[in-house]
Amino acid sequence: MIELPSIYNPEQTESKRYDVWMKHGLFGSQPDPKRSPFTIVIPPPNVTGSLHMGHALNNTLQDVLIRWHKMKGDNTLWIPGTDHGGIATQNVVEKMLKKEGKTRHDLGRETFLKRMWRWRQDTGDTILHQLRKIGCACDWDRTRFTMDEASSKAVMTAFVELYRRHLIYRGRRLVNWCPRCFTALADVELDYVESAGHLWHIRYPFADGSGRTLVVATTRPETMLGDTAVAVHPDDKRYADARGKTLRLPLMDREIPIVFDAAVDPAFGTGAVKVTPSHDAADFEIARRQNLPHEMVVGYDGRMTDRAGKYAGLSLKECREKVLADLTAGDFLEKEEPYKHSVATCYRCATVIEPLESSQWFMKTGDLAKRAAHATEVDRVQIFPESWEKPYIHWLTNNRDWCLSRQIWWGHRIPVWYCLRCSRLNEDQLGQIARDPTFQLESTKMILRESASDPIVREEDPVVCPRCGKEEIIQDPDVLDTWFSSALWPISTLGWPKKTQDLSYYYPTSVLVTGHEILYLWVARMVMMGEELASEVPFRHVFIHGIVRDKHGKKMSKSLNNVIDPLDIMKKFGTDALRFALISSAIPGRDMQLSDDSFVGARNFANKIWNASRFVLTNLSDHRRTGLPPDKMDLSDRWIRRRCVETLKNVDAFVEGYDLAQAARTLYSFFWGEFCDWYIELAKIRLQGLGGPAENPPPKPPTTDAALAAKETLATVLDSVLRALHPIMPFITEELWGALGETLGEKTEGCLMAAPGRVPALFDSPAASEADMRAMEVLMETVTALRTVRSEMNVPPGKSVPLLVNAQNALPFNKGLLETYGDYVKRLGKVSEIRFIGKGEKPAQAAAAVASDFELFIPLEGLIDFEKEKQRLSKEVVSLDADLQRLQARLSNPDFTARAPQEEVTKAKDRHTEVTAKKQRLQTHLAALAKD
RNA sequence: GGGCGGUUAGCUCAGCGGUAGAGCAUUGCCCUUACAAGGCAGGGGUCAGAGGUUCGAAUCCUCUACCGCCCACCA
C-alpha cells in the first residue's frame, strides 16, 4: 500500500522523474520508416540568456506537443540547441571587458574571440539545463549550437551556394548603422520608438541672388550639411518655374540643384524636400535616380566628418544645436513646430540608428520571399492561428534586400577573400590595410572591398590566390548576421548540406513553435532558405503564441522590474503548476498577462489531482483490473465513462488545432467539476456506504459487484485523465500513474510518458445512452436543489433530514430514477429517507423546492422561518417569471415559430412548459405558506 | 498613413448567432477520514457606445471612442 502525503510536494516528485525518463531513453529518436515522425526543432535561445517566462512558455508548448504525439505513437524528435546570438552576446562580453577597463580592440580579434568562446563554454549551456528543469523532452544527444562545426559548415556552404546563384551580392548602400555597436543592422533589427521631436522649416535662398527662397521642412536639421539637392514633385505648379534653377545651401555655402522627383509628396509641408543622399534612405534613392553627388557628413562613430566643415568632430546633438543657432543667426529658420515621429533604434542596445552609406553584403530576397509567401498561400506552410497569415504574407511581399554583414567579431566570418596582389591597390591603400589589420576604420574595409581584387568566395581558406598564386590574400573582416545561421537551423541541425538519413526522414519538420516577435526576423527566412537550399519548406505548421506580459500588459523586462522568474514560480508552486498556468493562458492569437496569482489556481489544481488520486489509490489496494462486465456498472459509471471519452476527444481536437489553452481548460473542468465533484462522491456510496466511512459496518461491503464496478471505473477514468494531462503536467501525472500501476499490481518498467494516450477499457466499454445522460442530469439537479434549500434554510451540513417528494406530476421515468437511484440523493444531499407523498398531502412546516418535475419538501418542525422561506420562494418566482416572459415573447412571435429551426422552437416550448410548471408549484407553496 | 487585436462580474480573462461563463476576490454554512491549496450554497453583468443584418446579436456588418501591438523611404 502506497502512502501519499495529503499535500502535493512538487519538489519531491520533480527531483527524480526527469532522470528516470532520461534513463529509459525516452527523449531519443532514430529514423524508422515504419513509423511516422513528429519533429520539432527548438527556436534556439541565445547563449547569453537565462530562462525567462517567454522561454518557459515557448518550450512548454513544444513539450506538450512532443509528449502528446509520443503518446499517440509517433516517432517524436525534438532537437535542442542554442544560438550564438551575434551582437547581443558580443555586447555581454564587451561589457565584462569594460569593467576591466578594456575594449575588444585592446585584446585584438583573436584573443577577444578566445575570450568569447571561453565565456560560452562556462555559461552558455545554463539555459539548456533550465529547460530540463521545466521538463522538456529534448533529444539531448543531438544538442546543437549555431557555431558548432556542422552548423558553421552549413553556413559556409549556404553562403557560397547562394553567391553562386547570384542571390548574395556586395553593394554600397544606405544601411542602418548603430554607432554604439559599430555595425550595420538589417531592417527587421530595428525598434521604432515614438518620439516627440520638431519639424524645422528652413529657408534655402535661390542662387540667382533674387532674394527668393524655398522652404524645406526637416526633423533632422544637422543633416542639411550633407544636402546635395532639393527635390519637388514634377507636377507641382508652385515650383514649375524653378526648373533649372539652383539654391545656395545655408551654412555650407554650396550651390545645389532643384530636382524633380515623383517620390515627393506635394501635400506634405511645402512640397519641397531637402535631399541628403548619404543619410536618408529615401534621399539615397532620389540621388540615384537624379544622379546626385553624395556628401557623407555623419561618420560611423556618430560624429560629424570633415565634410561637415566647421562642424566636424561634433556629436550629432551638439551639431544640431549649433546648426540651429547658426540658422537663426543667419535668419534662415522660418519656424519650428512640435512634431511626433518614430525614431529607429538598435534592437540590441536602443541607440538611435544612423542611416549611413556603407559597403555591405546583401541577400536578394525578392523571389525567395515571393516563393515563401506562395508556400503559405497554398498551405504548404500553415500558420496557426490564421490571423497571422496576412501580416506574414504582407511582410514577405514587401521587404527589401537583407543586409547580411555585421562589423562585429563574434559570428561566422564571411567566407570571402581578396588578393592584395591582383588588386588595383596603391601603396597608400596597402599601407592603410597594414596599419589597420582588424579594420577598425570603415575606410580600410572599403578599400579592401571596393578596390582590392574581385572577391574569392570559398568555403575554405584558399591560402593562395587562385589567380596569381600569391599568398597575400586577406579575408573579409565582417561576420554574418546571426539570423543567417538561424535561418539554416532546421536544415543544419538535420545534417545539411550532407544528404543524411535524418534529413530525408525528419524533414520537413512538423511544426515550428514561436512568438510573433520573430515571425519576420526568423520564420520567413527559414522558409526562404529551406525552399532554396533543401528544395522544401522547413516545416508544415507554424504555431504562433502570444508574448508574456505583466499584469498591466507591459512587456516583462529587467529595467521595468516586472519580471516574474519561472524558476521562482517553480520553486514556489511547482513545475507542473507553472506549465499548467502557462498553457491554459496561451489563448491563440493573444498575448497573456501574468502575475504571481496566475499560478495559484494551477497549484491548487495539482493538489486536487494529487488528492483525488490519493482517494482512488487507497480504495484500490485490494483491486485488480478485471474488465468487469458492463451490466455490473452503475448509472454513474456509465455516465462518467462517457463524459471522459467525450472530454478526451474534445481535447484531441483542441490540441490538433493548436488551442492548447482550451485543451487544458477542458481537462480541468472535467477532472474537477465532474470526476471529483460528482463521480467520486457517488462512488463513495458503494465504497463507504450511505452514511460515509463512519458507518459501521458498511451496508454494502466493498466486495460486491457494485463496489468492484466503482473501483474499476475509478481506476480507468483516473488512468485516462492522467494520460491526457501528462503532456501538460508531466511530473505529477507520471508519479501518480506509477503509483496507480503499483497499487493495482501492474508494476512495469514503463513510464507514463511512453504509454499510449488511450485506455482501451474506456473506449471499448459501451457508452452511456442519452437516457442515462438525462437521468444523471435529473439526479444532479435534484441534489443541487436540495442542497440549496438546506443551505438557505440553515440546515447544518452534517444533519440528516428526511425528504418528501411529490412526484404526482413527474414523468414515470423520473420517478423511477428516484426509486432506483435514491441513494445518490441520500448521500449527496444528506437525506435520511425518501418518501413519496400524494397530491393532497401537504407537509406541515416544510421548506420546499422544485427540481426537474419533482416537488421536494424538507420537514423542519419548529425550525422554519416563514418570512425567510417566503422571501426565498418569491425571489425564485420573480426570476422564473422573467424567464417566462422572454420565452413567451419568443413563442408568440409568428416569425420565430415560422423561421427558426424546428429544433429551437421545440426547445423553447419545452422550456416554457417546464418553467411554467415550476413557477406554478412554487406559487402553490407560497400560498400554502401564507395560510400557515 | 495602413493593418491586426482588445473593450464581458470588483480583478484576470473564456465564450464569438439560440436560456450570460470560469478562476481569483466577496457573503453564509461546514475542520463531512481524498483534498481548508478543500466542500456546499449565494451575491454580483443594460457583454465600450451608436446604427444595421436576422425570427433572434456579447457573438455577424458599419461607424465612433478609448487601449495595445505590428507594418510603412512619417521630409
Place of cell 563554454: A121
The separation, in Å, between residue A925 CA and nucleotide B34 C1' comes to 40
Q: Which residues of A888-911 are buried (b: 16+ CB within 10 A; e: fewer)?
A: eebeeeeeeeeeeeeeebeebeeb
The separation, in Å, between residue A388 CA and nucleotide B71 C1' comes to 13
Cα–Cα dist A230/A415, whole Å: 41
Q: Which nucleotide is nearest to A341 (CA to C1')?
A: B74
- What distances in angstroms separate CA A705 from CA A617, A621, A638, A687, A821, one per listed residue? 19, 16, 15, 11, 16
pLDDT recorded at residue A88: 82
pLDDT recorded at residue A37: 95
The separation, in Å, between residue A395 CA and nucleotide B2 C1' comes to 13
Please list the ranges in chain A whose pLDDT falls under 50: none
The radius of gyration of chain A's CA atoms, rounded to the nearest angstrom, is 38
Q: Which nucleotide is nearest to A553 (CA to C1')?
A: B68
Q: What grid cell was written down for A240? A: 514649375
- What distances in angstroms separate CA A575 from CA A40, A126, A579, A731, A747, one per listed residue? 22, 18, 6, 8, 26
Could you identify the residue whose CA is nearest to the C1' atom of nucleotide B18? A904
Cα–Cα dist A273/A275, whole Å: 6
The separation, in Å, between residue A513 CA and nucleotide B59 C1' comes to 30
Q: pTM to 2 decimals?
A: 0.90
- What distances in angstroms separate CA A781 from CA A95, A524, A829, one per listed residue? 67, 54, 11
- What distances in angstroms separate CA A570 from CA A130, A135, A328, A896, one per listed residue? 11, 11, 62, 55
What share of chain A in percent tops pLDDT 70?
A: 97
Q: Which nucleotide is nearest to A271 (CA to C1')?
A: B75
pLDDT recorded at residue A150: 95
Q: Which nucleotide is nearest to A661 (CA to C1')?
A: B14
Amino acid at A737: W
pLDDT recorded at residue A1: 61
Q: Which nucleotide is nearest to A584 (CA to C1')?
A: B14
pLDDT recorded at residue A386: 84
The separation, in Å, between residue A694 CA and nucleotide B23 C1' comes to 34
The separation, in Å, between residue A909 CA and nucleotide B5 C1' comes to 40
- Do A127 and A82 form a contact (C-beta atoms < 8 A)? yes
Could you identify the residue whose CA is nearest to the C1' atom of nucleotide B35? A611
pLDDT recorded at residue A812: 87
Cα–Cα dist A784/A798, whole Å: 16
Cα–Cα dist A720/A206, whole Å: 85
List the nucleotides on chain B closer than 7 A to a protein CB: 3-6, 12-15, 18-19, 22-24, 28-43, 54-56, 67-68, 70-75
The separation, in Å, between residue A350 CA and nucleotide B66 C1' comes to 29
Helix/strand number for chain A, H first, E second: 32, 29
Q: Which nucleotide is nearest to A614 (CA to C1')?
A: B34
Q: Which nucleotide is nearest to A6 (CA to C1')?
A: B35
Burial class (CB in 10 A: 0-12, 13-18, 19+), A801: buried
Average pLDDT, chain A: 87
pLDDT in tens, A199-231: 888 888 888 878 888 888 888 888 888 888 888
- Do A185 and A346 form a contact (C-beta atoms < 8 A)? yes
Cβ neighbours of residue A518 closer than 8 Å, sequence gap 6 or more: A43
Place of cell 570633415: A306
Q: Which nucleotide is nearest to A280 (CA to C1')?
A: B73
The separation, in Å, between residue A798 CA and nucleotide B31 C1' comes to 12
The separation, in Å, between residue A68 CA and nucleotide B69 C1' comes to 32
Could you identify the residue whose CA is nearest to the C1' atom of nucleotide B74? A341
pLDDT in tens, A539-549: 999 999 988 87
The separation, in Å, between residue A801 CA and nucleotide B36 C1' comes to 25
pLDDT in tens, A365-421: 888 998 998 898 888 999 888 888 888 888 888 888 888 988 889 999 999 998 888
